[in-house]
Amino acid sequence: GAGVSQTPSNKVTEKGKYVELRCDPISGHTALYWYRQSLGQGPEFLIYFQGTGAADDSGLPNDRFFAVRPEGSVSTLKIQRTERGDSAVYLCASSLNTGTDTQYFGPGTRLTVL
Amino acid sequence: AQRVTQPEKLLSVFKGAPVELKCNYSYSGSPELFWYVQYSRQRLQLLLRHISRESIKGFTADLNKGETSFHLKKPFAQEEDSAMYYCALSGKAAGNKLTFGGGTRVLVKP
């Protein structure tokens, strides 16, 4: 079946602009995770959803970052007033449930802030 | 706070030689440890997890709680093993999020 998909695959924006990154999880997966991977580093946790609610948003770096999952499926990561330091690959993952279920990753969105 | 350390950024070995990727962690409680792999131009995928105690593609990893390590090993490396490998940790105290190490790039030379 279809895996996790993310759009766009690449996004170039200017400093100060607003961006939205979309994640389509595997159908039926109730848990959805966002990670950020800067160049030369491992992925870092941002936020995860169980259903529609954000169960843990402790990884969001500041209040410019926000994520939603209004119907418990697709999720959107929103970044306001982008800064050059936000440039990274943003990864989405989903799992059947939380706990020990395997997380399946999407291909990522490469965000470049000029 | 939980932390995962992969001390080697790059491991270069010849085909048929053994390869060992080091992973050390710090965590309060009972962690769950994973190895993820990312082949060139592919997405991140689970290689193995310690609770499964299985060998995948010839790789094994043993959780050593005394040394807080979860090293990944393969006795005979193949060229198709060339990839980026990430050690990761999860657990009840960490919620369900994964904490990743910085990654080790493995290059298997013919």
DSSP state letters, chain B: --EEE---SEEEEETTS-EEE--EEE-SS--EEEEEEE-TTS--EEEEEGGG---BTTBEE--BTTTTB--EEESS--GGG-EEEEEEEE-GGGTT--EE---EEEEEE-
Is the CB of A98 less than 8 angstroms away from the CB of B86? no
Give pLDDT, residue B52. 79
Chain B residue nearest residue A4, CA to CA: B43
By percentage, how much of chain B surpasses pLDDT 90? 74
Read off the pLDDT band of B81 (50, 70, 90): very high
Mean per-residue pLDDT for B16-29? Answer: 94
- Asked whether A90 and A21 are in contact (CB, 8 A), the reply is yes
- pLDDT tens, A74-111? 999 999 999 999 999 999 999 987 766 889 999 999 99
Question: Does the pLDDT at position B24 exceed 70?
Answer: yes
Is the CB of B96 less than 8 angstroms away from the CB of A55? yes
Cα A74–Cα B89–Cα B1 angle in degrees, nearest 5: 100
Query: What are the chain B neighbours of A107 within 8 Å (beta carbons)?
Result: 43
Mean per-residue pLDDT for B74-95? Answer: 90
Mean per-residue pLDDT for B42-48? Answer: 94
Is the CB of B43 less than 8 angstroms away from the CB of A56? no
Give pLDDT, residue A1. 59
Round to whole Å and give the CA distance between B58 and B40.
19
Q: Where are the alpha helices (DSSP H) in chain A?
A: none
Read off the pLDDT band of A9 (50, 70, 90): very high
Mean per-residue pLDDT for B28-53? Answer: 90
Chain B interface mutation, best of A10, A45, A58, A91, highest count of B Cβ atoms under 10 Å:
A45
By percentage, how much of chain A surpasses pLDDT 70? 96
Question: Does the pLDDT at position B93 exceed 70?
Answer: no
Is the CB of A102 less than 8 angstroms away from the CB of B49? yes
Give pLDDT, residue B53. 75
For B98, the closest of A40, A45, A55 (CB atoms) is A45
